[in-house]
Amino acid sequence: MPRFAIVALSAALLAHAVPSAAQAPIDTTWKRGGVCYEVFVRSFFDSDGDGIGDFNGLTQKLDYINDGSPASTRSLGAKCIWLMPVAASPSYHGYDTKNYYRVNPEYGTAVDFKRMVAEAHRRGIKVLVDLVLNHASTEHPFFKEAARDTLSPHRNWFRWSATKPDIKGPWGQEVWHKSPYRDEYYYGIFWSGMPDLNYDNPAVRAEANKVGKYWLKEMGVDGFRLDAVPYLVEEGTTLAGTAGTHSVLHDFAESVRATAPGAYTVGEVWDSIDIILPYYPDQLDGYFAFALSDALMDAVRTGSASKLLAPYLRMQQAMPAVRWSPFQRNHDQTRTVTALGGDIAKARLSAQLLLTLPGLPFVYYGEELGMTGDKPDERLRTPMHWTRSKAAGFTTAAPWEPLQPDSLTANVAAQANDKASMLNLYRKLIHLRSSNAALAAGELVPVDASNDAVTAFLRRDGANVVLVVANLGTTPLSGVTVSSNQGAVPIGRFATRDLLGGAAGAELDASADGTLREYVPIATLAPLQAYVLELKAIRR
Ligand code: CA
């Protein structure tokens, strides 16, 4: 069906349902100032006492993520959740799919899943599911069939070789694996349990689009996080970022847009900005900005602000901010607090910066509590800490994976009513980001600070301006000045108010030409503290 026909049809349906509406409302407003929350269902909340988190458990905890009241600061206020894989899989993490059309029975039923999606929508939470298209599981029936029988109709869905090709993966790993069924080899870039799908085969490309449609239409999700997208198509010895890979992504994204206008796709390209940029503008909607994550964590860890803003400015120049996603850490990386040497003050500062800089940020569950965790991977994905009680209120049984040792302090019950807690800092920052126009959508304008330990930047949306100044060092700094290019702020005089609730900053006189000239916003910058100063014009 041509695109215009679909648009005309949905407009007609909508006109019938809501007579006053002039056109189909495609709700993409959540991205403006929105924050996404990454959830590992297995570790979030166990509703049925088997030690494994599940869909009904997540449903019970949705109010924690967003209770649907914009003014409420009793919930985090995230506008979307990304669920790590929920499809059937033989592995605890789910990144090797056994059936793309079934939910993992350990997490519940399709009905449970759909109820969870409906309850999320009722609260204004979009639901993104992890979609693992690069590879399947060796337990997938098509792989088993193709491996056993060279005449199988699914034989060409995977890549086979009679002899072992002399090719290693990007980390020096084996990528051709001995078949357990026949004297031959199959290709799988990550692991022998994850045979790559063969996207040179048009049937595989069509199947990927069909899987996408199924989750959008049947399961009601709002989009996808796409795993490991650089590796979709191999060309000779080039295993990543090939023209074929870009073509598959383009087709998949087109199919998603045609199926569900307003759906959102974000891809994992774990690489530098140079490598990520060719995945824009006509493929997925967004990509995780690993370079920004590294810059943020390095700046806070080392106490040097000098390399923080450049990669942000580069992404801003290349693409609208809703199309790239900064974060602190994800499920594959040492958790934030652990990566920062257990320093909670640094983790707070890191959150303050992440959530006041531009982009569409993602927060990994438990980060808002200061949860710790280091490799191996299972220890990065441990059960959420809800209460001080046994198993931290995650389950009434033995949890599938032991808790972190900090569960007595880094838990929701201990922090929910403590105004100074990490949890309430996140709640405040996430709500500020969606309610303040400058923080939601303002341009990032860099400001020079007179000390290397200090980062300063403006977020400016027309007349709405916020100045963020942060001391990344561990000692107080007095008399630090900040200076901008001409016209960085509107012409005028401004009072400054700390949106995080601290004391007001100094008055700013930019009445000549909208320039900050050796302005001292805060007389003494406390160590490891950000100031989020809203500029309010003073009228005479
Ligand atoms: Ca369970």
- CATH code: domain of residue 74: 3.20.20.80
* Domain interval for residue 179: 141-187
Is-catalytic flag, 461?
Answer: no
Q: How far is CA 233 from CA 241, 256, 328, 413, 504, in A?
A: 8, 20, 29, 47, 55
Distance 45 CA to ligand 1 centre (A): 8
φ and ψ of 505, to 5 deg: -85, 180
Closest CA to 349 of 471, 512, 189, 434: 471
Distance 311 CA to ligand 1 centre (A): 42
Distance 47 CA to ligand 1 centre (A): 5
3-class SS of residue 458? strand
Distance 393 CA to ligand 1 centre (A): 13
Distance 397 CA to ligand 1 centre (A): 9
**Through-space distance between the first and last CA atoms of the chain, rounded to whole angstroms:** 61
**Higher pLDDT pick, 377 / 12:** 377
Q: Are 27 and 262 in contact (CB under 8 A)?
A: yes
Distance 262 CA to ligand 1 centre (A): 32
Query: What DSSP state is assigned to residue 195?
Result: P
Q: Which residues have CB atoms below 5 A from the ion given as ligand 1?
A: 46, 48, 50, 52, 54
Domain membership of residue 2 (yes or no) is no
pLDDT at 314: 98
Most distant CA pair in the chain: distance in Å?
86
Beta strand pairing status for 324-325 and 286-288? Answer: parallel
Q: Mind listing the pLDDT tens digit for each residue in 48-64?
A: 999 999 999 999 999 99
In the predicted model, is pLDDT for residue 88 greater than 50? yes
Domain membership of residue 195 (yes or no) is no
Domain membership of residue 266 (yes or no) is no
pLDDT-derived band at 1 (thresholds 50, 70, 90) equals very low
Task: Provide the domain count of the chain.
Answer: 3
Assess whether 459 and 365 both reside in one domain.
no
The percent of residues in the chain predicted with pLDDT above 90, rounded, is 93
The residues that bridge with 462 in the sheet, in sequence order, are: none
pLDDT at 23: 45
Positive or negative, the CA dihedral 249, 251, 256, 261 is positive
pLDDT-derived band at 19 (thresholds 50, 70, 90) equals very low
- Measured CA to CA, the distance from residue 462 to residue 146 in angstroms comes to 59
Distance 175 CA to ligand 1 centre (A): 35
pLDDT-derived band at 25 (thresholds 50, 70, 90) equals low
pLDDT at 26: 59
If you write DSSP's letter for every residue of 52-108 in order, what string do you get? S--HHHHHHTHHHH--S-TT--SS---SEEEEPP-EE-SSSS--S-SEEEEE-GGG-
Assess whether 430 and 298 both reside in one domain.
yes
Distance 91 CA to ligand 1 centre (A): 16
Which residue in this structure is represented by tokens 């997925």? 284
- What burial class does residue 493 get, using C-beta atoms within 10 Å of its C-beta: 0-12 exposed, 13-18 middle, 19+ buried? middle
The catalytic residue among 38, 54, 227, 534 is: 227
Q: Which among 391, 413, 435 is the end of a domain?
A: 435
- Measured CA to CA, the distance from residue 384 to residue 54 in angstroms comes to 12
Domain membership of residue 250 (yes or no) is no
Distance 533 CA to ligand 1 centre (A): 45
Q: Are 411 and 388 in contact (CB under 8 A)?
A: yes
Q: Are 465 and 535 in contact (CB under 8 A)?
A: yes
Q: What is the mean pLDDT of residues 254-280?
A: 97
Domain membership of residue 310 (yes or no) is yes
Assess whether 385 and 504 both reside in one domain.
no
Assess whether 449 and 466 both reside in one domain.
yes
In the predicted model, is pLDDT for residue 340 greater than 50? yes
Is-catalytic flag, 268?
Answer: yes
Q: What is the mean pLDDT of residues 154-165?
A: 97
Q: Which residues contact 360 (CB under 8 A, 6 or more apart)?
A: 31, 34, 35, 36, 266, 286, 321, 322, 323, 324, 325
- Measured CA to CA, the distance from residue 248 to residue 264 in angstroms comes to 17
pLDDT at 28: 73
pLDDT-derived band at 10 (thresholds 50, 70, 90) equals very low
Assess whether 358 and 409 both reside in one domain.
yes
Domain membership of residue 277 (yes or no) is no
Q: Mind listing the pLDDT tens digit for each residue in 124-145?
A: 999 999 999 999 999 999 999 9
Q: What is the mean pLDDT of the chain?
A: 94
Distance 193 CA to ligand 1 centre (A): 25
Domain membership of residue 208 (yes or no) is no
Assess whether 78 and 181 both reside in one domain.
no
The catalytic residue among 207, 268, 367, 406 is: 268
pLDDT-derived band at 343 (thresholds 50, 70, 90) equals very high
Assess whether 475 and 415 both reside in one domain.
no
pLDDT at 42: 98
Beta strand pairing status for 223-226 and 126-131? Answer: parallel
- Measured CA to CA, the distance from residue 427 to residue 71 in angstroms comes to 11
pLDDT at 307: 97
Assess whether 383 and 503 both reside in one domain.
no
pLDDT at 253: 97
Distance 407 CA to ligand 1 centre (A): 20
pLDDT-derived band at 499 (thresholds 50, 70, 90) equals very high
- Measured CA to CA, the distance from residue 76 to residue 103 in angstroms comes to 27
pLDDT at 18: 39
Q: Mind listing the pLDDT tens digit for each residue in 170-222?
A: 999 999 999 999 999 999 999 999 999 999 999 999 999 999 999 999 999 99
pLDDT at 109: 98
Q: Mind listing the pLDDT tens digit for each residue in 465-482?
A: 999 999 999 999 999 999
Distance 402 CA to ligand 1 centre (A): 15
Assess whether 345 and 426 both reside in one domain.
yes
Q: Mind listing the pLDDT tens digit for each residue in 395-431?
A: 999 999 999 999 999 999 999 999 999 999 999 999 9
